[in-house]
Structure 1
């Protein structure tokens, strides 16, 4: 379809047209006042989006062959119309040169006296303008085969491509991009990427965090997309920060969201740079824009300040803001162009290769040097290490042994460098607890949009459709448990584990009232039979209340929850006979302190849950363990949640309201003084940060850093680390369970550089 560039500011006219940056001349608008200028009007670009691949199959049930035929047919028809128009213009110019009018009867045997009309067709006119070079064509295209096919199309019909969007496999074939028409490298399309979002469908399977680095080194222009609401367009800068962390030059990272997209869109004469006579569009940042937590202090659009009452976080000194953060060092096996080892378990050599990909080396003991921060949890009978960055006079050294569960043998300014002991320089890095992820279907899916790779969603027992008898029948006989469907050693898990996420807690997928029992497991395990792979078979019971996909009303869901928790609360039947499996599951919540995790966002629903919990507990001998998952509006009832001892896992810590139930989410700086994380933390609630999708666990430490940097000092670095580590463990009772069993939780992860500048590359874990 066709697209238009707009500026995101309110206008006096309050119209859609007034938001447009430059409406193309083909758009019919009220006449403008006459201009005294005799200069020729500057051309105005039109914009169009094409799409390739899986989307066409999913939406229109068409194959790639169908798509190629559709493209060629449409452009062939447009070519016919263009040629007819060209012939008309040639004849009109010839007639004009002779002082004649172009009439059919003057050039043919027709006796009509009506002037010949310019050939046109509303269905084809936009594609004709593509062929005339008046349209910036952007194409949604992921895979090499689709890119190759579209390149052939550009040569057959001779039109350029402005950019390929998403384009996860472009970094594998940068030379193919340079073959875009006219094929001499003068019109290489830009690539509009996600920095990290990937593996959500087959076309995104081979995406790489190093794609921007590889493409830039091949002189391919780089921009980033939000695909809002797939990712939050408010934080587009975040993607440039991540790309810089993974190797994209700082100047190119900043250009990727400013001057490069302006040039690609044909607007580099007005926006994208700060120059005299350009639009007065600029942002004053609180820190270097590539540093995590940098927030606008003020935004000007057309010279008009947009923030009437800004609340930027703590503003750093000009000296601190002068330089970008350091980039991560490349991993020892860095080779982004090599797609093996594949996920079938084999590692075949490619043509011309003589060596396999280097594998991670397991050592029994290692000595870390230049350690500037240590935040490790307190355990019974052991020392609590908590030295935040800046509190150490000199960097420390640490010797770690795998023996005894991976304990610290030495932590001092100078640990002995024994013969044969491997030494790793952390470059001012940190020793932190292992990250814990919750919220996605990781471990139950490899590619969430491919049914054959994903555990089927749990049927809703409150469903009222024509198939409602089936989920009701099943709910009387079983409650799904995620541990029964665990799948280890997938790409999602390996990526998470490589980035310090050692533990995952996953519930069965589903959109109805009941989801079932979650499982806690190690992300790096090979299969469920490996010792210690599963940390806890039944970690919590999960339900959902609100407009989250269930066919049942909120009132029906609340009534069912009340019934299930109240059923036999005053008695303990012999042989633990609590009734149906579903009733037994809720009895574990009411009587045996199994955590109940409730997905809910709306403050009114949360308030009703507080009321229900207090009413149920008034007739129970002990308090229940309830956790809110989601909690986009939890800040509105923070004190009440704290009084009821209900804790919260925020799935969008940088609030991102995508539903009506979450519309009052707290945006945080610069629009509000505090974030939801800060408000809940200050209220005394144990807060943890969760995720929504399987690619997001790798960013957990970044989210913790965001929480710290936007809190105005109310959340310390130690508390921020707990948001994605020990707080999650405590909410699911993992540490207490491990201390009473033979299971042992992973102890810590070693990071290089500062984990709070941007997530450093993590190569070493114990």
Structure 2
């Protein structure tokens, strides 16, 4: 094995930019990567951490030094992402930016991610805004061996080339530098089966034959070396297999996309057959169920690089558990949280770590999972992942403790160079991080393992009456608006300054809210201490296909796409008709029950279609057992839904089955509103819309398309004399027309809640703090636009309360606690024409903090206790 870089003090950083001034961070609360040090100074010089010392004790400084008093703020190493496709799957996602996968063959160890890396990826700047300073850029998972990976930093360089962005170039002056780790991507399971028609049996043989080629090359090379000066033949070289020979030699870090136990077992046998070590399993949904198997891998168990809660999107991920990090830690395995960018926006990788702590992982291990553990897995912990003398000066100053909700960089240094120009940092409202109950988390982890990844998530305990004590604030819905009915609206002060009250519920109704409940008999009532928590309205899910789809990749688990109502291929029996969401529903799914436990008591879902008209949405109770259960359907018809855009809905096939342009879609919509389909069921529903009796929800993202819709609205209203009730879903560029939307009384449901420039139609998104003062939601709200928050995927709906709170803590000048809650409750109901009893939630701990949890809900007139 070649000698590797040691962890000794590095004398220089080859990425240092001459002329960069030194920076002294004064009075920091420092997370070094292993421990917390309070009251320290950190000197950044020549691209390195030059010194860490107690504040004021560092002695004299040479030359000019920019002193920055951080005022006790948290300072950490830069975040390290072990699994990213940034640059090779560049944003905006267009054909010319797609270089993640080659589908030439299942075995491609000779490919290299650096050859597809696009330095113009808009996500590079975005990821810096989240504190990411290093990422391992992997090929995709379309192949058993997809190719070699490279470690990049996202900092823009003077030459703006991929080679300049590599952390440790493998070549200097045209010569290979010995001892530098190489990296390679392997993948197992469904992805390869789908693309190459291979079974897992084929997969195993693919690996074994490839590694045999690598082994034979290594044998030849070793034999050549053994001859020494007696060699007369050239050194054996084979570009196809040299990387695998280097794997067996021990010089390559292997990262494996895998989910299921049978894949792990196959991989463990392969490592022992060819004697190589696996650095990390990625995704690894079932890893927490079989830690003993992983420990049998050659060279020791791999780390597990995973999502916190993103699961159930295909069969392989069906057994995913939020308690997996805790279960793995209990088994002695290393947790790493990763983004798989752009599957998850790497800008919010820190949120994955925070979630792992919410569900029981020790907070130091949660921090380790995005700082030092991935650096070690890369073999780069001699220079990144820690703030110690001699390491690269990749350092983040945070506006709050990193695991608190909405923690945002106040400054990001990469190679000692500040990356944020005039960052927008606000004083966040006071947030108390309530550590999760270890007993609850341990019980959740035990149940997840004991049930083989399929715990019973159905409601189990019901009460008619209860008293909640330790209540800091209470909110209710009055005349369709969220209002605070108890507690101070000033959440910027500490908990100790607030008097805690109680809320009494009897017979499914609140009978008392206040400091005391005189005249209310509390004897015999179950009492639950909310520990400074809150009573909130129940929330609503919209955007995700809850109740209509369980696994996107499995046709048998979903309703499927309905015929384009305007297409030529519509069966005669369905011609001119519109499908209702209530005709599509399935109950009892995991995501439905998880959403319910997360406080989303109601969902509004509609059919999907390849054409302009999707169908009619319905509002239903997430916890219902079936469609015939009492109260399962809260409102049979909510809104009529259409799609304007490129692919994924609008612009696919309508009117004779041909692909329609955006202009044709707009014209078709206008004609429908003016009676083009009179005499049909489709025409009847559009007549209700044109008369203002039914909301029209339009899925649209681009500002120019939104502008055309606003013109359409004005023209139709002039001809009909009625006001259209239009709401936009998606709306990533809606901020560019905030005043016009407010004037037209058009609301916006932002989906996803935090925008990402994933397509050309969304590339002008508003970044939000620290780059801009406003989030998209706060800017629209400040202009008077009614805003709701939706979700693209079913598993993301559980974050609704956190998404609302994120806007509140990021822009408290615009949002109050009540108006933030409305983003995921009453605003959605208003915009989509739903009139329902929202129910109530009992939240333990700070309802606007990441550590809080829902301990009960009031739905359908009864109390469920979690």
Deviations 1:579-637 (A, max 9, x none): 22222221121125211000001001111111110111112232111000000000000
Q: Does 1:750 align with 2:850?
A: no
Structural mapping, 1:93-132, within 5 Å: 93=228, 96=229, 101-103=230-232, 116-132=233-249
Check the 8 A contact 1:589/1:596 in 2, yes or no: yes
1:582 is matched with 682
Given the alignment, which residue of 499, 502, 505 partners 1:400?
505
Given the alignment, which residue of 326, 348, 352 partners 1:213?
326
Deviations 1:478-500 (A, max 9, x none): 21211111101111111111111
1:156 and 1:765, CA in 2 relative to 1: closer, same or farther beyond 3 A?
same
1:425 and 1:492, CA in 2 relative to 1: closer, same or farther beyond 3 A?
same
**Partner Cα separation in structure 2 for residue 481 and residue 315 of structure 1:** 43
1:752 and 1:540, CA in 2 relative to 1: closer, same or farther beyond 3 A?
same
Check the 8 A contact 2:288/2:449 in 1, yes or no: no
How far the C-alpha of 1:510 sits from its partner, in A, is: 3.0
2:714 is matched with 614
1:330 and 1:526, CA in 2 relative to 1: closer, same or farther beyond 3 A?
farther
Check the 8 A contact 1:378/1:384 in 2, yes or no: no
Q: Which moved more, 1:165-174 or 1:627-636?
A: 165-174
Q: Does 1:641 align with 2:738?
A: no
How far the C-alpha of 1:341 sits from its partner, in A, is: 6.6
1:340 and 1:178, CA in 2 relative to 1: closer, same or farther beyond 3 A?
closer
Q: Which structure 1 residue ranges, 5 or more long, are not aligned?
A: 33-39, 104-115, 348-356, 463-467, 569-576, 739-744
Given the alignment, which residue of 505, 509, 512 partners 2:604?
505
**Partner Cα separation in structure 2 for residue 762 and residue 7 of structure 1:** 39
2:155 is matched with 9
How far the C-alpha of 1:441 sits from its partner, in A, is: 0.7
How far the C-alpha of 1:87 sits from its partner, in A, is: 1.4
**Partner Cα separation in structure 2 for residue 633 and residue 373 of structure 1:** 35
How far the C-alpha of 1:709 sits from its partner, in A, is: 1.2
**Partner Cα separation in structure 1 for residue 606 and residue 789 of structure 2:** 16
**Partner Cα separation in structure 2 for residue 481 and residue 399 of structure 1:** 39
Q: Secondary structure at the match of 1:408?
A: strand
1:181 is matched with 298
How far the C-alpha of 1:23 sits from its partner, in A, is: 2.3
2:808 is matched with 708
1:624 and 1:336, CA in 2 relative to 1: closer, same or farther beyond 3 A?
farther
Check the 8 A contact 1:431/1:751 in 2, yes or no: yes
Q: Does 1:47 align with 2:183?
A: yes
1:422 is matched with 526
Q: Does 1:694 align with 2:799?
A: no
Q: Does 1:522 align with 2:608?
A: no
Given the alignment, which residue of 546, 556, 568 partners 1:469?
568
**Partner Cα separation in structure 2 for residue 176 and residue 196 of structure 1:** 23
How far the C-alpha of 1:509 sits from its partner, in A, is: 2.0
**Partner Cα separation in structure 2 for residue 657 and residue 77 of structure 1:** 42
**Partner Cα separation in structure 2 for residue 471 and residue 236 of structure 1:** 44
2:279 is matched with 162
Q: Secondary structure at the match of 1:585?
A: helix
**Partner Cα separation in structure 2 for residue 407 and residue 146 of structure 1:** 51
1:181 and 1:417, CA in 2 relative to 1: closer, same or farther beyond 3 A?
farther
Deviations 1:390-440 (A, max 9, x none): 578411111112x3xx21112222345633211111111110000100001
Check the 8 A contact 2:285/2:319 in 1, yes or no: yes
**Partner Cα separation in structure 1 for residue 833 and residue 486 of structure 2:** 22
Between the two structures, name the one with larger relative contact order (CA 8 Å, sep ≥ 6). Answer: 2
1:338 and 1:306, CA in 2 relative to 1: closer, same or farther beyond 3 A?
closer
2:254 is matched with 137
Q: Does 1:260 align with 2:373?
A: yes
Structural mapping, 1:112-511, within 5 Å: 116-182=233-299, 187-314=300-427, 325-328=434-437, 331=440, 334-338=444-448, 360-379=460-479, 385=485, 387-388=487-488, 390=490, 393-401=498-506, 403=507, 406-415=508-517, 418-461=522-565, 469-471=568-570, 476-511=575-610
**Partner Cα separation in structure 1 for residue 834 and residue 851 of structure 2:** 25
**Partner Cα separation in structure 2 for residue 714 and residue 266 of structure 1:** 45
How far the C-alpha of 1:327 sits from its partner, in A, is: 2.4
Q: Does 1:19 align with 2:118?
A: no
**Partner Cα separation in structure 2 for residue 480 and residue 433 of structure 1:** 30
CA-based RMSD of the aligned residues comes to 2.5
Check the 8 A contact 1:479/1:581 in 2, yes or no: yes
How far the C-alpha of 1:221 sits from its partner, in A, is: 1.0
Check the 8 A contact 1:376/1:386 in 2, yes or no: no
Structural mapping, 1:599-748, within 5 Å: 599-735=699-835, 738=836, 745-748=837-840
Check the 8 A contact 2:327/2:445 in 1, yes or no: no
**Partner Cα separation in structure 1 for residue 483 and residue 806 of structure 2:** 28
1:720 and 1:120, CA in 2 relative to 1: closer, same or farther beyond 3 A?
same
TM-score in terms of structure 2 length: 0.77
Bigger share in strand? 2
Q: Which moved more, 1:325-334 or 1:42-51?
A: 325-334
Check the 8 A contact 1:512/1:548 in 2, yes or no: no
Check the 8 A contact 1:388/1:717 in 2, yes or no: no
1:685 and 1:447, CA in 2 relative to 1: closer, same or farther beyond 3 A?
same
1:552 is matched with 660
Size of the aligned set, in residue pairs, is 695
Deviations 1:195-251 (A, max 9, x none): 110110111111111111111122211111111111110111111111111111111
How far the C-alpha of 1:339 sits from its partner, in A, is: 5.9
Deviations 1:278-324 (A, max 9, x none): 111111110000001111111111011111221123268xxx79x85
1:212 and 1:56, CA in 2 relative to 1: closer, same or farther beyond 3 A?
same
**Partner Cα separation in structure 2 for residue 131 and residue 382 of structure 1:** 62
**Partner Cα separation in structure 1 for residue 570 and residue 252 of structure 2:** 52
1:358 and 1:665, CA in 2 relative to 1: closer, same or farther beyond 3 A?
closer
1:277 and 1:343, CA in 2 relative to 1: closer, same or farther beyond 3 A?
closer
Structural mapping, 1:562-573, within 5 Å: 562-567=670-675
1:623 and 1:372, CA in 2 relative to 1: closer, same or farther beyond 3 A?
same
Q: Does 1:65 align with 2:201?
A: yes
